[in-house]
Amino acid sequence: MRERLDCAILLTECTVSWVEPLLGQHAGGRLHIHALEEIIDIDAEGATQALSGVGMALRRFDACIVPVWPASLPWARISLSQSIGRLHTPVIVLAHELSTAGLYDLHQLGVADFLRTPFCSHEARLRIERLLDGRRMSRPASESAHLVAEAPRNGTPSGAEGLPYSMDGSEQGSWDLDAYAVAAASRCSSASESFQEAKRRVIERFERAYINAALGRHGGNIAMAARAAKKHRRAFWALMRKHEISAEPYRRRAQEFSAKCQAIVAQRSHMEHV
């Protein structure tokens, strides 16, 4: 896995206030998010060409995040339709309160992947890593295992970081999960470690990563995270206690984000009535 990923984020006037806090280092310094210099006014003439216009600047980044919420969805549709296919850098949409239909439209326009708010840096790093390693699908399993062989023993924290597969359970992420399993098994079998001990370690890391990812996706709401995981709330809570995971940081992040969004809506409403 890469030591550092550099990701650009496209700022618009209607998203800058809640996107700016995401700038900087994340995931223990393994993910760096940089703002592109220009802040786009989506109502200005030519605003839909802004994304395609920064194609050259994006070449030095591993991915480009485009924040989209309902107010900017029309602009995003047109911008993506004009730029996808011309850009060499994968585009990831950071979706806030978008409907399934809205997500589907963006997917049809060629978006490489999606992130949902509240933003989870570990999930973002994993998804970008998955995009960059997408070509591994055409490689033999032995080579794939070599690419991720360091994952089980790199001292990852008790979050989603360090597990090179999708946490959404989708079929698209199944190949990464297979590659991780091959790498973990190959690494453990070559060490003086029993089958049971190796299995215990891998399952323990998976449980930690899954619980953190589920809480992050649902803003620290344990009941919703448990329901999405198809586990009883008590069983989910038991796993949280087992791995000493607290939902409070995720709740606080979700509350802060909600407060910022409300402030933006209030400001826009005030501007419209002036």
- The tens digit of pLDDT for each residue in 149-194 reads 333 333 333 333 333 334 444 444 444 566 566 666 666 666 677 8
Q: What percent of the chain has pLDDT over 70?
A: 72
Q: Which of 36-45, 108-117, 145-154 has the lowest mean pLDDT?
A: 145-154
Please state which architecture CATH assigns to domain 1-132. Answer: 3-Layer(aba) Sandwich (3.40)
Q: How many CA atoms lie within 13 A of 184 on its CB side?
A: 23
User: Span 220-230, mean pLDDT?
Assistant: 90
pLDDT at 181: 67
Residue 265's pLDDT band (cuts 50, 70, 90): low
Residue 80: is its pLDDT beyond 70? yes
pLDDT at 93: 94
Residue 142: is its pLDDT beyond 60? no
DSSP-derived secondary structure for 70-82? GGGHHHHHHHHHH
pLDDT at 242: 92
Residue 270's pLDDT band (cuts 50, 70, 90): low
Which residues lie below 8 Å from residue 100, measured CB to CB, with a gap of 6+? Answer: none
Let me know the angle formed at the C-alpha of 129 by 127 and 131, rounded to the nearest 5 degrees: 70
Three-state secondary structure call for residue 85: coil
Q: Which of 22-36, 113-127, 178-192, 231-245 has the lowest mean pLDDT?
A: 178-192
pLDDT tens, residue by residue, 93-104: 999 888 888 888
Neighbours of 50 (CB within 10 A): 21
pLDDT tens, residue by residue, 239-252: 999 999 999 988 88
pLDDT at 183: 64
Residue 133's pLDDT band (cuts 50, 70, 90): confident
Q: Which helix (H) or strand (E) holds 132?
A: helix 121-132
Residue 29's pLDDT band (cuts 50, 70, 90): confident
User: Span 267-274, mean pLDDT?
Assistant: 64
Which residues lie below 8 Å from residue 88, measured CB to CB, with a gap of 6+? Answer: 55, 58, 59
pLDDT tens, residue by residue, 193-217: 788 888 888 888 889 888 988 888 8
- Domain limits of the chain? 1-132, 138-191, 204-274
